[in-house]
Amino acid sequence: MTTENAKPLAGRTALVTGATRGIGAATAKTLAERGAHVILVARKVKALEEVEDQIHALGGTSTIAPLDLTEPDSVTRLATAIAGRWQSLDVLCLAAAYLPELSPLSQMDPKQFNQALLTNLVASQALLASFDMLLRRAEAGRVIGLTSSVAQSPRPYWGGYSATKAAFENLLETYAAEVERISPVRVAIIDPGATRTEMRARAYPGEDPRDVKPPEVVGARIADLLGEGFTTLHRERID
């Protein structure tokens, strides 16, 4: 195997939110293993350091960026810091998400719904806005957004999550249409399907986790997708 084949993402810089667990962590490790320098974004410093240690053990490189995406101006500060070190950003992977407790709309906890709005929607818009120029400077900037089937097929008790994910998808579709003709930036919306994560365990407490695929499967597919050419907006579900 040649070095190029072993490290197909060498020279690229990727930012992954929600990078301390689940699909975010799996994606970050896969991208780093394939040669990308990965900027790990999440709230907990210790958890970020653990993922970074795992990346280094795989022979990869990373930078940790501990912050709460929902805090005012946090994303702007992050973008300013990254722009001071890198001239462009090749990959922006939006994997961070918040799942409110499943409940009827009439009984939804307002604080949890607000947290879902801030994490799943407001922070995503801030990330797209703050990293837009760095993405455009890349040779082939890519935005990867993790969604859920409930965004397009609402179901009882999932309203707090499905509504924010539906808006999240609309946000990405709008951005894809805006950058299509004026930059090489392209957008992919990925529905990971049933995946062995903490969020999944909360939503389906009686499910045997061995019955669903591990997050590494999703991380590998996202890494593969970055080597494929696609126009405007790519959408797929990983079964």
47: exposed, middle or buried (Cβ count in 10 Å: 0-12, 13-18, 19+): middle
**pLDDT one digit per residue (tens) for the chain, 239 residues:** 445 567 999 999 999 999 999 999 999 999 999 999 999 999 999 999 999 999 999 999 999 999 999 999 999 999 999 999 999 999 999 999 999 999 999 999 999 999 999 999 999 999 999 999 999 999 999 999 999 999 999 999 999 999 999 999 999 999 999 999 999 999 999 999 999 999 999 999 999 999 999 999 999 999 999 999 898 999 999 98
Which class does domain 3-237 fall in? alpha beta
Whether residue 144 contacts residue 130, with contact meaning beta carbons closer than 8 Å, is answered with no
Residues recognised as catalytic: 161
Pairwise CA distance, residues 238 & 35, whole Å:
23
Q: Tell me what pLDDT residue 4 has.
A: 55
CB 93 within 8 A of CB 16: yes
Q: Report the candidate in 6, 9, 62 with the shortest Cα–Cα distance to residue 35.
A: 9
Residue bearing tokens 């082939």:
140
Where does the chain have alpha helices with state H? 3-6, 22-33, 45-57, 74-83, 110-117, 123-137, 159-179, 198-203, 215-225
> Phi and psi of 11, rounded to 5°?
90, -10
Cα torsion at 128, 134, 138, 141 (round to 10°)?
-10
119: DSSP letter: I
- Determine the residue type at 99: L
**What pLDDT does 6 receive?**
79
Question: What are the distances in angstroms from CA 94 to CA 11, 50, 229?
Answer: 20, 20, 20
Q: What is the pTM of this model?
A: 0.96
Q: Residue 228: helix, strand or coil by DSSP?
A: coil
Residue 34, token pair as written in the block: 């394939």
